[in-house]
Structure 1
Amino acid sequence: MFHFLPSPITGTLSLLLYLINTLFWFVPVIILAILKLLPLASWQRLITYLLDACAVAWISLNNVTTRLFTRISWQVTGVKGLTKKDWYLILANHQSWADILVLQKIFNHKVPFIKFFLKKELIYVPFLGVCWWALDFPFMKRYSKQFLQKNPHLKGKDIETTRKACAKFRFKPVTIMNFVEGTRFTPEKHDTQQSPFKNLLKPKAGGVAFVLGTMGQQIHKILDVTIFYPQGIPSFWDYISGKVREVTVKVEMKPIHADLLGDYEDPDYRKQFQLWINDLWQNKDQQISQLKSQYSKTDASQ
C-alpha cells in the first residue's frame, strides 16, 4: 500500500510499527506471566494457551506491517499439510536477521508458535527472561567437557534437566527452531571456517543432537528449511525498508528415525549423526546453487 515511499521513510515507519506492536503485546504477556506463577497445573495450561495466542497475534500484526510497506514476491513450497496439532523441529540456514521475520511469516497459523532453546542464564534477563519463561521457551543447561571431566557424576544431567523443562510440551504441540550453523553466513566466516559448502557455513551437529536427545520422543517431524534471497543477502534494514523484492523458501518434511536419537557423547552415534547432518547440508547447498543458477539465467534473458 505504501510501496511508493522512499526506503528510509518505509524502514522508519515499519520499525516504528514493529516497536509499537511489541510494546502493546508486552503488557498482556507480563500480566499473564504473573498469573502463571500460580502453581496449579490446569491454570498454567490455560494461561499457556492465552500466551501463545498473544504471540501469534503479535506475529500476525508484524506480517500486516510487512504487507503494508514491502512488495515481496514469495516463492514458498512445502508448507501444505502442516498443522498446528503436530510437533516440529525446524532446521534452517541462517543469513540475516530478516530470516526470523521470513520464518514467522511463512509458518504463522500453519504450525505451533515457534520457540527457541535458550541458555538457562538468560532467564535472568530483565523483563525478557520472564516473557521467555511465560511463553515456555525451553531453557537448557549445558556442561562443558572440562567440567564433566572434573564432575563425571553429572554426565547426562544437562539432558535430563532440559527434558524435564520440556515436559510441558507433552500436552501442547510446539515448534522448536534451530539455526544449525549457529551464526549468520558471511563470506568472511565462510573463508575462516574453510567450509566445504559453497553457500553455507559448517553445521553444528551437537546442538541439533541435543534437541533431539532432549525432545526426540515428543517431536514428530523435522522441517528442513532453505531460505534464499535472489537479489543477495539483505540486512534487517533492507528487509523492513522495502528493498527486498523476492524471497524463496523451500520446506521439506522429514521423519525422525530412531537412529537419530542417542547420546552425542557416544563416538559411534556422534559419527553417524554428523554424517546425517552433513548430508542434509550438502543437499541444501546444492539447492541454493541450483536456485542461483536459475535466477542468473532469468536475469540474463531479461
Structure 2
Amino acid sequence: MLPLRLLLICLLIAANTVLHVVPLLVVALVKALVPSDRLRLASNGLLTGLAESWIGVNSAMMDRFTRTRVSVQEDAALQADGHYLVLANHQSWVDILVLQKVFNRRIPLLRFFLKRQLFWVPLLGLAWWALDFPFMGRYTPKQIARRPELARRDVEATRRACEKFRAIPVAIMNFVEGTRFTPAKHANQRSPYQHLLKPKSGGAAFVLDAMGEGLHAVLDVAIAYPGGRPSMTDLLADRIPEVRVHVRQRPIPDELLQGDYQNDRAFRARFQQWMNGLWREKDEDMTRMLGSEGQGME
C-alpha cells in the first residue's frame, strides 16, 4: 500500500503545482510585457497570492494525509507586511514545507536563495524566477581560489535581488549552515555545536548590507524533529510524529547594518561573533526541544 500512497500524494502535489504555476507564469509574462509600472506592481500581488495559495493547498494536504503535529513556540509579533531576514537551521527538505506551513500568509512570502541549477526544475524553476527568488552559483572555496571573480557574482546577485525587495514586504530566507545537517558533516567540521553545523555568515551579511534599513527584524528559527532527522519520503509516508519549531524575533544590531564583510576583517569578526552567539542559543534551544527523544530515525 505504501507505494500506492506515495504515488497518489505525489500526483496530487503535481496537480496542485500545475494548477497554480501555469497561471503564475501567465501573470509573469504579462508583467514582463506591460509598460505600466502600476500594472507591474499590481501583478506582484497576484504572483504572491498564487504562490501563497499553492503553499496553502500543500499544507492542507500535509494535514489531511499525515498525522504530523507541528508544535510552534513563538517569541515574535509577526506581520504580514513586515520586512524580515529569516535564519534557520537545516536538516531536511521537510524544513521548507514546515517553514511554509508555519509562516504562510502570516509574514510575506518566504524567498529563498537557490542554487542556480534549480532553475531547470520543471515548472517550479520558472515559478521561482517569476517570483524573483535569487539564483546563486554557490561556488566552492577551491573554485573561488582559482577564479576570485566568482565570489563577486553571488554578491552582485544578492544586491540585485535586494534592490527589488526594497519596495515590497519581504521575508528573505537563509539557511546559514549552507547545507543540510548530517552526522558526517558535523564530524568533518568539528562543529562546536551539538545539533548544528557551523553557520556561514556571508550571505546574511550581504543581505543586511544591501537592504540597510529596509529590514526591521530577524526571525531566528529552530526546527527540531524529536523522532529523528527525516526525509521527504518519511513525511509522505506519515512517519514523522512531530515537528517542533521555535521562532524568536530579534533586533538587527545597528553596527551590523553597514559594513564591508569581504574586505573589512574587523567587521567580519564582529558579524561572525554575532552569528555564533545566535547559533549557541539555538543549539541550547535544540537540546531543550529534543529532550531525551532526539536519538531516533537517521
Q: TM-score, normalised by structure 1?
A: 0.86
38-47 vs 270-279, which moves further: 38-47
Identical residues among aligned pairs (%): 47
CA contact (8 A) 2:163 2:210 kept: no
**What 5-or-longer segments of structure 1 have no aligned partner?**
1-5
Q: Which residue of 1 aligns with 2:260?
A: 263
- Indicate how the Cα distance of structure 1 residues 190 and 111 shifts in structure 2: closer, same or farther if over 3 A, else same: same
Distance 2:65 2:151 in 1: 51
Q: Which residue of 1 aligns with 2:84?
A: 88
Deviation at 1:11, TM superposition (A): 3.2
Deviation at 1:139, TM superposition (A): 4.5
CA contact (8 A) 1:8 1:241 kept: no
116-125 vs 23-32, which moves further: 116-125
CA contact (8 A) 2:27 2:47 kept: yes
**Structural mapping, 1:69-84, within 5 Å:** 69-78=65-74, 81-84=77-80
Amino acid at match of 2:217: K
CA contact (8 A) 1:10 1:242 kept: no
Amino acid at match of 1:41: D
117-126 vs 19-28, which moves further: 117-126
- Indicate how the Cα distance of structure 1 residues 76 and 218 shifts in structure 2: closer, same or farther if over 3 A, else same: same
Q: Which residue of 2 aligns with 1:293?
A: 291
**Residues 41-75 of structure 1: CA deviation (Å, up to 9, x unaligned):** 22211111100000000000001111111112221
- Indicate how the Cα distance of structure 1 residues 246 and 54 shifts in structure 2: closer, same or farther if over 3 A, else same: same
**Residues 193-224 of structure 1: CA deviation (Å, up to 9, x unaligned):** 11111111111111211221222321111000
Q: TM-score, normalised by structure 2?
A: 0.87
2:21 corresponds, among 26, 36, 54, to 26
In angstroms, what is the RMSD of aligned CA positions?
2.7
**What 5-or-longer segments of structure 2 have no aligned partner?**
none
**Structural mapping, 1:73-222, within 5 Å:** 73-78=69-74, 81-118=77-114, 128-139=124-135, 144=144, 147-148=147-148, 159=155, 162-222=158-218
Amino acid at match of 1:255: P
Distance 1:127 1:71 in 2: 29
Amino acid at match of 2:209: G
Q: Which residue of 2 aligns with 1:250?
A: 246
CA contact (8 A) 1:10 1:69 kept: no
CA contact (8 A) 2:134 2:157 kept: no
Higher Rg of the two aligned structures? 1
2:11 corresponds, among 3, 8, 16, to 16
- Indicate how the Cα distance of structure 1 residues 293 and 263 shifts in structure 2: closer, same or farther if over 3 A, else same: same
Distance 1:16 1:125 in 2: 17
Q: Which residue of 1 aligns with 2:273?
A: 275
Q: Which residue of 2 aligns with 1:3?
A: none
